[in-house]
Chain A
Amino acid sequence: MKFTLTEEQEMLRKTARDFLADKCSKKFVKQMEESEAGYSVELWREMAELGWMGLAFPGKYGGGDMSFLDLAVLLEEMGRACLPGPFFSQVVLAGLTILDIGSEDQKRQYLPELVSGEKIFTLALAGPGYHDEDVSAITVEATRQGGNYLISGTKLFVPDAHVADYLLCVARTRPKDEIAVFLADARNPGIKYAVLKTIAADKLCEVVFDRAPVPAADILGQLNKGEAAVQEAIRRAAVGKCCEMVGNIQRVLEMTVDYAKERKQFDRPIGSFQVIQHYCADMATDVDAARFSTYRAAWMLSEGLPCAKEVAVAKAWIGQASQRIFALAHQIHGAIGATIEHDLHYYTRRAKAADLAFGDAGFYQEAVAREMGL
């Protein structure tokens, strides 16, 4: 048992932190939030050149042969910096799903251009009436017609779909009722996009499929592995979001403690008042607990160990903990924290979006109940 990172991982962390401190200022984040695309092509290319997109993929597809745990370190730093753009969609949602269930031909075809950042990929899960994690409730239908499937229906909260080149779409096949993952060309004339206005301005999209033809050969992996594969993809995505959230809340703790040391009232720093100290202590406990439970889940995923319960514990905890952390962070920051003059809101908005993605705290609490045999 060891809760610390390796030297290489610490180096990766430092490189990522320095790079993002330089390239991803809050001014840049704001610009991206206000832009239509939501990311900068230049920064995207630079991240690809650093090998970030390929980090967790095998060398034979152009990747860096590193692990999911290494990727977790990178995701934490991205959360800390509030990095906007499709990195998460590209790597965690689409890339690792292709790696997990794609045929060898599909991997050879798609992963090199994913790893190089040449093409952008994302994954469409939720739809009207069901969330990301409700796989069995999926209503988007793919009806077989000759060598194609025609996909119809609406997907919601699909990140970065408006800039994607490829869309992994989870759909229910007809007439044979099975869950399958289709790898659709995003420029398919039967697909339309609209960016939704969200609290995190994170370019979640509505994607409407209207008899969009996708060749049967573009089903990812085997048809009958669909549902389990999607569950696994959601589990990975949940852990990935936890990693981003760890970076987020760690930074918020630091910002809040710094503010409590600087801000003076009654001729004293407010951080010398016991009530503020105890708020900060509570935040630190929540952050450490989130860090350990998240990294345990990431480590287990990385090692290929069964971890449904540990993932559920991590995502449930961090969802609950972040609510408490932000309530206290805002209370300590006072009124300035409620304005856009201060950086705190970037974190507040993203943390809530992350809680809602791929199953919220309540969903995973129920998942823990099932794992307990209740």
Chain B
Amino acid sequence: MDFSFTDEQNKFRREVRDFLEREIKEGYWQPACDAWVQGFDPEFTKRVAQKGWIGLTWPKEYGGQERSHLDRLILTEEMLRCGAPAALHWFGDRQVGGAILSFGSEELKKEFLPRIVKGEAYFGLGMSEPGTGSDLASLQTKAVEDGDYYVVNGQKTWTSCASFAQYFDVYVRTDPEAPRHRGISELIIDAQSPGVSRTPMIDVTGTEAWSDVFFDNVRVHKKYLVGEKNRGFYQVLHQLDYERSGMERLMGNYPLFEALVQFVKDNDLSRKPAVRSKLAQLEIEFEVGRLLIYRVALVMEEGRAPNWESAMSKAYSTEVEKHLASAAMDILGPYGQLLSGSKYVPLRGMAAHSYLGSKGYSLQAGTTEILKNILAVRRLGLPGS
């Protein structure tokens, strides 16, 4: 056993933190909650790319650095700690690039990976549909073959970053006759293709958080099929394991935690036992959560796809985020309800944002209920229902 980071890893963490702190100091952006998914900043993404920090674990031949999953975890942990606006490259870096690497053709790898690495290809995900949430295999968006093309019709929803995405990674039904898990395929669709349209959805915090994405007779060349036709469901399970694996599930609102602790110190609130208890409890939960997530990275480091391990860390972490939001509201009292921009608002409105926003964290990328099903069946061997 060894619970430490190597000198090189510590040095890397320092380098990332110095870079981010310099960015904040220069006034490029302010730390924000949910910036990994709602902070859209092409210039920041470019600067991160110039550091070589997108596609960090990927092979050098596609522009990657062939560094470890722990290095990537360190990188993302620091991004989240600082609330950096990394949304434009997050999805390509976290999961779509990995899916292309695992399943895609050589042609797709060459077309997309170097551009993701350069911070020039932004991705959105097309999984959920209006009638398809937890039961992903029920999806209806269909792709019909027409010569060298698929013709795609249907609607995806809850797509983050959709207004900015240049590509969508979309799961479509390619064989309506096959058993439902065996008739799904994965396509990369250019967002500029004729017939693609997007309608933004405003979340409860007032932010444009997602979009509906519509496909109306969209023609997609067959070379944009990722992996095997009709194997898409198995590919998406793999991808979801990565989607759930990271530190963003635990630390998406970390800027609020740091600001809250500072607020308590500055206002001499730490005399109050209830306040001390709340903050210490959060610190305990963050510490424990980081260990659960490091375990996931160690699994990847062994060359295995994370499975129930990321289900566990994600189900755990999204609860911590809710605890943070509640504790912040309790400590700030009536000021906690003030929104960003309001007179008297404390902590730039992060408490209110987090309180409202965190309600959705246990739904996206697999609801907590689905994740616990996965744990029960795959980890504990309980009978599937």
Residue numbers of A with Cβ under 8 A of B are 1-6, 69, 257, 260-261, 269, 271-272, 274, 276-278, 280-282, 284-285, 288-289, 292-293, 295-296, 299-300, 310, 313, 316-317, 365-366, 368-369, 372-374
In the complex, per-residue mask of B1-38: 1 if CB is within 8 Å of any chain A CB, else 0? 11111000100000000000000000000000000000
Complex Cα distance, B270 from A372, in Å, reads 11
Contact B382 A285 (CB under 8 A): no
* CA–CA, A73 and B294, complex, Å: 21
The dominant DSSP class at the A interface is helix
Whether B373 is near chain A, meaning CB under 8 Å from some CB there, is yes
> Across the interface, do B295 and A269 meet the contact criterion of CB distance under 8 Å?
no
With A1-B70, A3-B295 known as contacts, the answer to whether A277 contacts B277 (CB < 8 A) is no
Q: Is B377 an interface residue (CB 8 A)?
A: yes
Cα of A289 to Cα of B284 in the assembled complex, Å: 11
CB-based contact B385/A274 at 8 Å: yes
Kindly list chain B residues whose C-beta atoms are within 8 Å of the C-beta of A281.
Answer: 312, 315, 371-373, 375-376, 379-380
Interchain CA distance A293-B265 in the complex, whole Å: 27
Q: Decide if A280 touches B380 in the complex (CB within 8 Å).
A: yes
Q: Name 19 A/B residue pairs within 8 A (Cβ), A-sorted.
A: A1-B4, A2-B1, A257-B380, A272-B385, A274-B369, A277-B382, A278-B369, A280-B376, A280-B380, A284-B379, A284-B380, A288-B295, A289-B289, A316-B280, A366-B276, A366-B280, A372-B280, A374-B261, A374-B280
Question: What residues on A are CB-neighbors of B287 within 8 Å?
Answer: 293, 310, 313
How far apart are the CA atoms of A316 and B376 in the complex, in Å? 26
Q: In whole Å, how far is A93's beta carbon from the nearest beta carbon of chain B?
A: 24
Does B202 sit at the interface, judged by CB under 8 A?
no
Lowest 4 CB-CB distances: which A-B pairs, in order?
A277-B376, A281-B375, A281-B372, A369-B280
Min Cβ gap B374→A in Å is: 8
| Residue of A1, A284, A369 contacting most chain B CB atoms (<10 Å) | A1
Q: Does the CB pair B277–A365 fall under 8 Å?
A: yes
Candidates B9, B283, B315; contact of A372 at CB < 8 Å: B283
Instruction: Say if the beta carbon of B281 comes within 8 Å of chain A.
Output: yes
Assess the A2–B298 pair: CB atoms within 8 A: yes
Residues from chain B with a CB closer than 8 A to the CB of A292 are 288, 291-292, 295
- Asked if B383 lies at the interface with its beta carbon under 8 angstroms from chain A, I say yes
> What are the residues of chain B within 8 A of A316 when measuring CB–CB?
280, 284
In the complex with contacts A280-B380, A368-B283, A369-B277, A374-B270 CB distance below 8 A? yes
- How would residues 306 to 326 of chain B score, 1 for a CB under 8 Å from any chain A CB and 0 otherwise? 000000100110000000000
**Which residues on B sit within 8 Å (CB–CB) of A269?**
383
Bound Cα distance A271, B381 (Å): 9
Q: Mark B252-280, 1 if CB is under 8 A from A, else 0.
A: 00000000010011000010000111011
Knowing A2-B2, A296-B3, A365-B281 are in contact, say whether A289-B380 is a contact too (CB < 8 A). Answer: no
Closest chain A CB from B58 CB (angstroms):
21
CB distance from A332 to the nearest CB of B (A): 11
Residues of chain B within 8 A of A295, CB atoms compared: 1, 3
Count A/B pairs, Cβ under 8 Å. 133
CA of A292 to CA of B4 in the docked complex: distance in angstroms? 13
Q: Indicate if the CB atoms of B383 and A285 lie closer than 8 Å.
A: no
Given A285-B312, A289-B316, A369-B279, A1 and B383 contact (CB-CB distance below 8 Å): no
- A1 touching B382 by the CB < 8 A rule? no
Q: How far is the CA of A310 from the CA of B316 in the complex (A)?
A: 19
Closest chain B CB from A353 CB (angstroms): 22
Q: Chain B residues near A374 (CB, 8 Å)?
A: 261, 264-265, 270, 275-276, 279-280
Q: What would 9 more interface pairs be, CB under 8 Å, given A285-B375, A292-B291, A296-B291?
A: A3-B295, A272-B385, A278-B373, A281-B371, A285-B315, A289-B289, A313-B287, A372-B261, A373-B265
- Asked if A299 and B279 sit within 8 Å, CB to CB, the answer is no
- A1 and B377 CA atoms in complex are apart in Å by 28
Bound form: Cα–Cα A6–B1 in Å: 7
Most-contacted residue by chain B among A284, A366, A374 (CB, 10 A): A374
Distance in angstroms between the alpha carbons of A5 and B2 in the assembled complex: 9
Query: Is B382 a contact partner of A289 (Cβ separation < 8 A)?
Result: no
Q: Are B372 and A278 in contact (CB under 8 A)?
A: yes
Our pick among B4, B276, B289 for the contact of A369 (Cβ within 8 Å) is B276
A261 and B381 alpha carbons, distance in the complex (Å): 9
Within 8 Å CB of A5, what residues of B? 1
Do B372 and A282 touch (CB < 8 A)?
Answer: yes
Given contacts A257-B382, A366-B276, A373-B265, contact A1 B283 (CB under 8 A): no
CA distance A266 to B376 in the complex (A): 20
CB pair A260–B382 under 8 Å, yes or no, is: yes
Residue in B closest to A368 when the chains form the complex, CB atoms: B280
Question: Across the interface, which residues of A come within 8 angstroms of B289, CB to CB?
Answer: 289
Give, as a whole number of angstroms, the nearest-CB distance from B280 to chain A.
4
B371 proximity list for chain A (CB < 8 A): 281
Q: Give the residues in chain A near B279, CB-CB below 8 Å.
A: 369, 372, 374
B5-A280 in contact (CB<8A) = no
Q: Which of B283, B284, B312, B373 contacts A284 (CB 8 A)?
A: B312
Contact between B292 and A288, CB atoms less than 8 A apart: yes
Contact A293 B288, beta carbon cutoff 8 Å? yes
How close is B78's CB to chain A, nearest CB, in angstroms? 16
Contact between A272 and B270, CB atoms less than 8 A apart = no
A2 to chain B, nearest CB (A): 5
A285 touches B284 (CB 8 A): no
Shortest Cβ distance from B289 into chain A, in angstroms? Answer: 8
Q: Which residues of the partner chain A approach B298 to less than 8 Å between Cβ atoms? A: 1-3
User: 0/1 per residue, B350-385, Cβ < 8 Å to A?
Assistant: 000000000000000000010111011101111111
Indicate if the CB atoms of B294 and A289 lie closer than 8 Å. Answer: no
